[in-house]
Chain A
Amino acid sequence: MKKFVKVICAVVVAASLSSCATVGTNAGIGALYVGMKQGENVTSNSLGSKVGTAEAKNILGAVVIGDASIQAAAKSAGITKISHVDSEKTNILGIYGTHTTIVYGE
């Protein structure tokens, strides 16, 4: 029994330490590579001529940093009226991943 508990604990620890910077997309998780753009939100405002971006990064699944909020993306381009929002996700071998929010508007 003790041995069984030890094995279970070892599996749990190993699973929690096996960091993975995977990103989920509407088309699923790409285990080897992800390079995808997808729609997020739409408003009834016109397209506008401004585009703003904001990015967050994931390193080994151990460190996730950045501000990929819509507000940060809109602020980066001085957008006050949002038309729609896309996101772009990249990931390489689960080692390094990024999530970029792209805001269009005026």
Chain B
Amino acid sequence: MNLHAEGKLYFVHEMKMSVAAGEDAGLLKYDYTHIDSRNEVAFLMTCATIKPSTIESMAIILPSGEKHSFPVEQIYNTKGRKMWNNRIRCYIDRAIWFDMYSHEQPFQVELTLKDGTTLQFCDKPRDWKKNREKMIFIQELIKLNRE
């Protein structure tokens, strides 16, 4: 039995992103899953909010101002110690995922809630430098293995 008929699977463990704009939100925790056979990357996120929220869409805003929007699948909401954890999943095109880490400045993640409010998250400069280096290494590995 070949478990890996779909190619290699890369899983990047959970990272955290700070709130850039929007009230009543905590950190955005996220991880990536990439599998060779698919032209997309699974972006799994936990967004902490004061009250349970329905998140409808996500947008990636690049430093150039370019904005890519994606629908979001809500997995569950659970009560944390002080805030509600909203677990969501989104699929990003692989080319856009590579582009996200090709800039010197960090990208922003914008979540749009059902009531119309938006939450924005962005890496702080020190975190961006560290995360970008890690992601570029992983993305280069993916590109080399796919050739």
Contact = CB atoms under 8 A, between A and B. Distances in A.
Nearest to B46: A76
Interface in B1-44: 1, 3-6, 9, 11, 13-14, 31, 33, 35, 38, 42, 44
B70 interface: no
B3 to A, nearest CB: 6
A51 B9 contact: yes
B143 to A, nearest CB: 19
Interface in B49-92: 73, 75-76, 87, 89
Nearest to A55: B14
A8 to B, nearest CB: 43
Q: Contact size class for B?
A: 20 to 34
Q: Contact size class for A?
A: 10 to 19
19 contacts: A42-B3, A46-B5, A47-B4, A49-B9, A49-B33, A49-B42, A50-B33, A50-B42, A51-B11, A53-B31, A75-B75, A75-B76, A76-B44, A76-B75, A76-B87, A78-B75, A78-B87, A83-B3, A84-B3
Interface of B: 1, 3-6, 9, 11, 13-14, 31, 33, 35, 38, 42, 44, 73, 75-76, 87, 89
